Amino acid sequence: MPRPIVATIDISALQHNLAVAKSRAPHAKAWAVVKAQAYGHGLSRAVRAFADADGLALIEVNYAVQLRELGWKKPILLLEGFFDAEDIPLLEQHQLQFAVHCNEQIQLLEQAKFKAGTQFDVHLKMNSGMNRLGFKPEAYRAAYERLQQLSCVRSITMMTHFANADDASNPDLPLAEQVRRFKAATEGLAGACSVSNSAADLLHTELAYDWVRPGVMLYGGTPGGGTAKDFGLRPAMTLESEIIAVQEIGPGDAVGYGSRFVADKPMKIGIVACGYADGYPRHAPNNTPVVVDGVNTGTVGRVSMDMLIVDLTHIPNAGVGSRVVLWGDALPIDDVAFAAGTIGYELMCALAPRVTVREKN
């Protein structure tokens, strides 16, 4: 018998969440962001569920090729562009659009030999304050003009990424300041604009210029504050397992590695077939939320590789075989992430390959 841990991916939730993303930006086109295997949900499911997206955007060149093999015919965008010269023939062969964020990439394009007539839609990335990728505002125009001179460049979309779309008044880099820099540096340049991630798509609809780039919201996760539910988003991934053993313990009895939890009363605890090697965060503290047989409870003791332990004291009927929801339909992934000091994104992406995945339509 396989281990009872199963992740269920709800295709209709993915479709629904894309429709929500599009409805927030009705005049823009939407890239569905599918990096990291569609945030852990699987590329083949993304291809089916996001058929209504105008394009799919991701980071990994090999997975972009896989999207073509899966039959995706609409645009594909590499959000960080290509990583070295060897990637360039793949861009041509699979008609991949790509970000250009540094002079080294422009130089590789200038040196590359293309078949006659090859043309690319490129996305020129501005570093408007996040200081990861992109040209500084003062260097942007020169990069634009350099790209414009290349016969392999058909169009240039102007792109930036926000650090604080979920916290617009962050004093270290207010959202409005990034927008101001972007607008000032792109003024008068021809081309489409693409700036909004999920947080901007949900919270700052006025920034939905020509394209939006929603990611986590498509999977039913919340980008920062609020809850996915308040935005009408549905969880796309439910991670479930079962109780595989029960222990009765008393005052002074310790639980798990390092004896991090010590009972101060008689308790019934359940051992769940889910551990950090399945993608559950090892740093989850005691009382991280879990649902057993529909009843809210919490973890006790350290998460180990293949197991974690939950309090069943107040769930008298729970026992071996009881259904345990780690996150998903009955328990927002954001709540689990918050308790564990991380974000829903990380939990989704970390779903381990050994977990059986099922689909629900």
Ligand X SMILES: *Cc1c(COP(=O)(O)O)cnc(C)c1O
Q: Give how many residues touch ligand X by CB under 6 A.
A: 11
The verdict on 198 binding ligand X (CB under 6 A) reads: yes
- Taking the complex as a whole, the smallest distance from the CB of residue 192 to ligand X amounts, in Å, to 15
Taking only Cα atoms into account, the Rg of the chain, rounded to an integer number of angstroms, comes to 23
The verdict on 241 binding ligand X (CB under 6 A) reads: no
Assess contact for 162 and 199: CB atoms under 8 A.
yes
**Nearest CB to ligand X, comparing residues 96 and 243:** 96
Q: How far apart are CA 286 and CA 295, in angstroms?
A: 17
The verdict on 212 binding ligand X (CB under 6 A) reads: no
Q: Which of 16, 101, 213, 302 binds ligand X (CB under 6 A)?
A: 213
Strands 97-100 and 267-272 turn out to be: unpaired
Name the residue with tokens 């793949």.
Answer: 90
**Nearest CB to ligand X, comparing residues 134 and 270:** 134
The verdict on 339 binding ligand X (CB under 6 A) reads: no
Measured between alpha carbons, how far is residue 326 from residues 242, 243, 279, 313 in Å?
10, 12, 11, 18
The number of beta carbons lying within 10 Å of the beta carbon of residue 256 is 18
Q: In the chain, which ranges are E strands?
A: 6-10, 29-33, 55-58, 76-78, 97-100, 120-126, 153-160, 193-196, 211-212, 237-249, 254-255, 261-262, 267-272, 289-292, 295-298, 308-311, 323-327, 356-360
The verdict on 33 binding ligand X (CB under 6 A) reads: yes
Given 29, 35, 136, 183, which residue is catalytic? 35
Task: Name the one range near ligand X by CB under 6 A: 66-74, 171-179, 213-221, 324-332.
Answer: 213-221
- Taking the complex as a whole, the smallest distance from the CB of residue 35 to ligand X amounts, in Å, to 6
- Largest Cα separation within the chain, whole Å, is 78
Q: How far apart are CA 80 and CA 99, in angstroms?
A: 5
Q: Which of 40, 137, 215, 344 binds ligand X (CB under 6 A)?
A: 215
Q: How far apart are CA 141 and CA 147, in angstroms?
A: 10
Task: Name the one range near ligand X by CB under 6 A: 108-116, 180-188, 209-217, 313-321.
Answer: 209-217
**Nearest CB to ligand X, comparing residues 161 and 302:** 161
Alpha helices in the chain (DSSP H): 11-24, 35-39, 43-49, 61-69, 88-93, 103-111, 137-148, 175-186, 198-203, 333-339, 344-349
Q: How far apart are CA 207 and CA 221, in angstroms?
A: 20
**Does residue 305 have a known ligand-binding role?**
yes
Which tokens go with 50?
């996001």
**Nearest CB to ligand X, comparing residues 213 and 302:** 213
Q: Which of 197, 222, 238, 288 binds ligand X (CB under 6 A)?
A: 197
Closest Cα partner for 107 from 126, 131, 82? Answer: 82
- Please give the residues from 66 up to 95 whose contact with ligand X meets the rule CB under 6 A: 79
Q: Which of 40, 81, 134, 223 binds ligand X (CB under 6 A)?
A: 223
Task: Name the one range near ligand X by CB under 6 A: 89-97, 104-112, 214-222, 284-292.
Answer: 214-222
35 is catalytic: yes
**Does residue 126 have a known ligand-binding role?**
no
Which residues on neighbouring strands pair with residue 141, listed in sequence order? none
Given 74, 229, 257, 360, which residue is catalytic? 257
**Nearest CB to ligand X, comparing residues 128 and 198:** 198
The verdict on 214 binding ligand X (CB under 6 A) reads: yes
Q: Which residues bind ligand X (CB under 6 A)?
A: 33, 35, 79, 161, 197-198, 213-216, 223
Annotated binding site for substrate: 132, 305
Annotated binding site: 132, 305
**Catalytic residue annotation:** 35, 257
